Structure 1
């Protein structure tokens, strides 16, 4: 009765709280009516029918905003610096016709986020936003629900709405705002920009108040490409005319829109000579404070025929570019529209300046001067001096003496875009063939000729590097082929070798020529600016204390010996000038495919061939890289399948052995109390802990490991089978524990058993604690994070070590009990010992035959036990010694391995006498 009353009162309290919150929210939304704030813009009218296709209101419209600093820029991250303009998304939910002609009722929501990360995540799918709500909220995401009216005649939209956020103290804060937008029209062109304001409906002295927000959007509905249709009918007037064959053409299946479908592309600008002192250099005009080094091109919209594009063209400063994200600073941005010129195989773009986009407001922004032109093309031939797959130029249509004129600027895509654009017909031309012949003579094979090395066409040729200089480790880098033979290197699909891929040289015999292959690389290196060679410093881009060096190289790869020798060109840049140092020799030695996986490393060097007196000469740089061959990865996938089978077999054998032990104690009831309870607890926990730690794998199919897909089967499905078997093993071990516990508690004369168990605890626990402290201290010396790696990681591995020595408590228990009882079945303690020791033998085999792939281990997981050459020898020896000790104890007595005088000792235990039936207990061997 009391429970029912309590339940009823709790239900009433919940219902009351729900209606209270509902009334608070409803009161907030209705407190500020539409008419008072918006009737002067668009009169309120009664909705009639819902319209589903109203061109100014697409389902989702991206935009930008400024202001609202006290509400939207409250990130707690001290390293987070929001850009000048932030992104927003306007979602249209419903549009209704009204009783007034050309007046529509609009309902939707406006979502703010102070980082372009939000725009990327939100553009994928609606569910993505919900899954990241907690993270976005912490970074400033805010949503308002709006309703209002739009006039087709005036292009004005006025809406009133509300939202909520949380204060720094965690209190709920209700917000109310009015949104006013201009130039919301049925059709738009390059000059059309939707601007407006959003103001708080609370007074400035109230905590709900926020600073005014200005809004800018590039409309997506019914856009007309007016500039490119009229001016570019005859190509790109004013652009440099390249031979048509020097640029790649596009096909219907690969239109120009697909080439820019990636969120944004970064380009490096190369200015003409003499631009250091000239005022006509910057594409931002005469009043620009700097000459930008980079240009950022992001697609806004693509036409229905996939041949015309709208772009936002930004010129961020160097620090903004280093984040490789758009700055959205419209005072240094252009809005453009382009069309593909199939006659000359290039993209022609008309760009217009965005005027009056002040640092404080976007409300008065408008499109102004449209005399800027861009031309982009995809070069048909790459070389060591031209490794860009997308190049172009930007120029001004103005006369030289006019204000705003600037000299023609060439731009090339950066390494960040590499691999995004790959077209059919792209070729590579080798320019350093003679120098390669002189610097890279054919090496003679020494030693084992049966070694196999990766093919030049495989994905094994790409690698990362750890750079060492004369004073030790100074940086890292990455290296990937640009071309193999005369074909561009592609990850997928693999290229088919062509006849032109092999170097044609009369100096190479036919047998050797089979293994030689022309190859070109792009190398990107970051070196610490401290203790760096002076010849490397002044010409490279500095960022966060590191210097970035880009090297393009070409040479010959010998697949017989796995040796790569190349001539490299280091790209130098100083004061917006670009030059090259092509006096560099690069040597790389790949490990054999059939080599030891553990110690296989890629080794190489980068050295200057200039005289030491030359100011561009630098000391040799050596590097190493870990080899991850595709064949090794395939073997590792097979290994994972094999480990799944081994894990199932291992747990199944554990089930069989524990069942045999259960049969053993049922057949000999008198031995059941003589089984160490601590040993059974350890064995039960050994199966329970993995189940608890990995419980989400049985239910959550979206975990990070779900990326492993083989033959259409999720890895988690196989893990479910493993955990099901583990669950059965745990239940049987727990059953054995209960049998022993019950038998011991039911024994009338069980004091000696409990005394022996207690003394075993006094011995085992200090040993376990001391061992954990010793190993933890040793691990701490090599750990960068004590809490994460030493405590958590070492604890799990140490628990595996305790499980490996599960017989230790039984040995101690037998010693104190001095019993000859065959408490354990031979099948049980020998079988479980082998189950625990076989993984260490397998690890010795695995480490020398499979590549190390973290988070891919299912059987003999290195994080769940101690696995190394030393441990894989010590643990099996100790395990077999413990099994032999139990065998001797059960045959000759618990103290058989002790000296004779200890073996025959008699122990008297004085116990407190509660009744006349209790007497001092005497136990003897």
Structure 2
């Protein structure tokens, strides 16, 4: 039968592949029709083992256009060009090679829409070695910016692709649609995309002649010192030189009031000059004799946090290209920069015709080795023109530097700091004699404890948040890489003895206003730029009493917020006095750093500002380590408690299996409470089974957090086991009521018990809420009162839920009274064991209260105050009541349910189980 159908199957497959546009050879664009006039189609001969094509396997470039298929509003304006290394063929013509390539455009930076607008084109064609032309045709695969599937026929062209290159070698080209802009093919048409790449094939550095090198020597070179790059441990082409050095601030002289004599780039408007310069390496060559680099330099007028991000097009008029070298004798980077010329510099429609010319710009860059309060820039340099001042392209020398918040990590150990305000500090800060042997210790000057975030108040009103961290302690740079987290007490003692407990220290402080509402005329933030203030300070820290006194300087240029983009030479306001008091390391509970920031100028001075009060929570490393140990204990206790809960539930299941007659007498209400007690944590924390949010827990040290994460997942898994066991017990209890002849009477007893239990829980909830709200009101400071009250209702409901779980035996006790039960319904291990599990957190909380500082609820893994009532009184009252209920259950099951009632309240009617052969009957207990 199959053989008879074989011809028909073959005919169907032939027809399918012949007419299906995805597989048909006829559906591919014709190379001859679209590229034959540029490079003739030549039969391939042999596949080349190595890639003889001058472009590397993976290349990137810039583009303009494609708006209809690429979402340029969120585009990087970059394309990727990939040439498979073994898909190059020699042909019958000695200078023509057959090649294959893939070009891709990623038009979005949003990971949630990664596929949208991601286009890939598969291309085949030829390269002419003699003319440098490339022509290829192909089809697309991808999704447009609207989310539609795209099926586009294209022709891809490149020019100037040769086996060698220099500064003038720019590869330009285009990607064009083969569909018509009109008719049925309109939906497949897109406007041409203009492309540009920098050639890297056998690049010849040609701009570093002896004459040019002499242009980088200044008379002031002997006074300047830059960090050397240790090529034994750090390659010239490693970070930061191989990556973008971004957002360097240009500083113009007072003569640069317009672009007339200070325009670095062409096309600047008469009243606006670029404020920032960024450098990005194109290629780096660490040769033995001379370390060379090629760079792309970009100028901008606004802060741009990502290189070439959110730019509508690649604008060559705002860019320079150049090459340079590292001068090891003077420790500086020297660059010769060239302008882009051609029509692309004046219009954004095409990059075709872009050229490189006029290499008259010079740039040199250093990494300063000595910082001071007036200069903490990790990069500084100059850019100038070597033309005469009569030339129209001449501009005056312009300096640039980066912000101190953007340290590039070059030679941190070799950095030095020159203190210049210490005499002023001694005059402004009163020195008090420290009482020896007080038994208190304060943070080590070299530790992470010296960093803190702060709340800033002005006239008793909170106005800003801030952060502060040391730059230098004495001569040691305090980056995250070099700060000592584990300095021993022995080392600290030696330093304190040598320095007498006094340390020279410098700080960087950033303040950001909480709102943009108008400030008082004498407010510090009224004079700030974008309501942000940056202060550099230096002074003395006394580790004997935790006092820090400093003189601060704020950069007035960064604070004035002028609309002109030309930044003049910066000036400083160094009449700022800053005082901070660190709490003792031995302080238990939450401790606070208190301080002030004030101007020492007269009130009539325009730069005077009102005094600021500073407060910060001190979270010391020593306390952090103690809390890590606490977290270890809490996770272990959570594991043990949850495991014990599983064991006790399992013993109860074993008990009812051996005594099935007791199942109907178990309280459904109690089983439901216990089941919900295991289920709700799983529902609220289900994401912990898969991955934990790193932001929902407090700071912990090192890799301990990973250990906690693994064990927390283990707790969740064991909790799920406990929930399944508890749900099984609830299910079989419920089922037993349906099959029991006296089940209807037991349902009536359960209903009566509920009439008592629900009002009891409601009254308990009301009383507990009132007590806890009173406690919260007494303990919350006025600064945070409103915030706490906003969350108190939900927190109190969760806490009361924990209290209900602590008294899980209440429904069973009441049901026993109404049913006059005289059976061993609950196993001793279940009700006493579960009671122990519920009361253990309260015993631990008593221990924790007396041994650890108070923490936010987000840092608790066990005995979380937001999930139960925890205090010294509650921790004593709740266990006592829980034990009392367990004793009542014991007495009821041993002497009868009503044995705990006074004689006059004891009833007569009850429900008991008789042998199964006689069935279930109603009996009377006297």
Deviations, residues 296-318 of structure 1 (Å, cap 9, x unaligned) = 22222221439322222111112
1:674 aligns with 2:665: yes
1:467 aligns with 2:443: no
1:752 to 735, 739, 745: 745
Match of 2:620 in 1: 629
Match of 2:226 in 1: 247
- In the superposition, relative to structure 1, how do residues 395 and 621 fare at CA in structure 2: closer, same or farther (>3 Å)? same
2:287 to 299, 305, 323: 305
2:190 to 186, 202, 210: 210
Deviations, residues 740-782 of structure 1 (Å, cap 9, x unaligned) = 3454444332222233345666777899899999989999x97
RMSD (CA atoms): 4.6
**Alpha carbons 2:366, 2:379 under 8 Å: kept:** yes
**Please, which runs of 5 or more residues in structure 2 have no aligned partner?**
1-8, 777-784, 912-918
Cα distance in 2 between the residues matched to 1:538 and 1:439: 26
2:340 to 314, 332, 354: 354
1:541 aligns with 2:541: no
More off after superposition, 221-230 vs 340-349: 221-230
**Alpha carbons 2:365, 2:382 under 8 Å: kept:** yes
Match of 1:200 in 2: 177
1:532 aligns with 2:519: yes
Deviations, residues 278-324 of structure 1 (Å, cap 9, x unaligned) = 62123224744521222122222221439322222111112546999
Deviations, residues 574-614 of structure 1 (Å, cap 9, x unaligned) = 552311000001112223223234x2233322111111110
Task: After TM superposition, list the pairs within 5 Å mapping 1:14-53 onto structure 2.
Answer: 23=20, 25-26=22-23, 30-47=27-44, 48-53=46-51
- In the superposition, relative to structure 1, how do residues 287 and 278 fare at CA in structure 2: closer, same or farther (>3 Å)? closer
1:836 aligns with 2:820: no
Cα distance in 2 between the residues matched to 1:695 and 1:239: 66
**Alpha carbons 1:480, 1:522 under 8 Å: kept:** yes
2:596 to 586, 591, 605: 605
Task: After TM superposition, list the pairs within 5 Å mapping 1:499-898 onto structure 2.
Answer: 513-527=499-513, 528-534=515-521, 536=524, 540-542=528-530, 547-573=531-557, 574=560, 576-577=567-568, 578-597=570-589, 599-666=590-657, 668-687=659-678, 710=703, 715=708, 717-719=710-712, 721-723=714-716, 725-737=718-730, 739-741=732-734, 743-757=736-750, 803-843=805-845, 846=848, 849=852, 852=855, 857-860=860-863, 879=882, 883=886, 886=889, 890=893
Match of 2:781 in 1: none
- In the superposition, relative to structure 1, how do residues 615 and 21 fare at CA in structure 2: closer, same or farther (>3 Å)? farther
**Alpha carbons 2:668, 2:734 under 8 Å: kept:** yes
**Alpha carbons 2:413, 2:477 under 8 Å: kept:** no
1:276 to 253, 257, 261: 257
**Alpha carbons 1:236, 1:375 under 8 Å: kept:** no
Match of 1:334 in 2: 320
Deviations, residues 653-710 of structure 1 (Å, cap 9, x unaligned) = 2233224434544565443322223433443454456567767766779999999974
Cα distance in 1 between the residues matched to 2:309 and 2:585: 40
Match of 2:156 in 1: 179
- In the superposition, relative to structure 1, how do residues 472 and 629 fare at CA in structure 2: closer, same or farther (>3 Å)? same
Q: Secondary structure at the match of 2:115?
A: helix
**Please, which runs of 5 or more residues in structure 1 have no aligned partner?**
1-11, 75-80, 119-131, 503-508, 909-916
Deviations, residues 833-859 of structure 1 (Å, cap 9, x unaligned) = 332343355456557725858876543
Cα distance in 2 between the residues matched to 1:681 and 1:737: 7
Larger Rg belongs to:
2
Cα distance in 2 between the residues matched to 1:369 and 1:857: 66
**Alpha carbons 1:312, 1:336 under 8 Å: kept:** yes
Match of 2:4 in 1: none
Q: Secondary structure at the match of 1:752?
A: helix
How far off its partner does 1:566 sit? Answer: 0.5
Cα distance in 2 between the residues matched to 1:151 and 1:585: 71
Deviations, residues 180-224 of structure 1 (Å, cap 9, x unaligned) = 222222222222222222222322242233232222222344333
Match of 1:68 in 2: 66
**Alpha carbons 1:62, 1:217 under 8 Å: kept:** yes
1:136 aligns with 2:118: no
Q: Secondary structure at the match of 2:427?
A: helix
Q: Secondary structure at the match of 1:189?
A: coil
How far off its partner does 1:899 sit? Answer: 8.9
1:223 aligns with 2:203: yes
1:379 aligns with 2:381: no
- In the superposition, relative to structure 1, how do residues 193 and 463 fare at CA in structure 2: closer, same or farther (>3 Å)? farther
1:318 to 285, 297, 302: 302
Cα distance in 1 between the residues matched to 2:158 and 2:622: 59
Task: After TM superposition, list the pairs within 5 Å mapping 1:412-427 onto structure 2.
Answer: 412-418=401-407, 420-427=409-416
Cα distance in 1 between the residues matched to 2:537 and 2:309: 29
More off after superposition, 571-580 vs 840-849: 840-849
Cα distance in 2 between the residues matched to 1:824 and 1:605: 64
**Alpha carbons 2:227, 2:410 under 8 Å: kept:** no
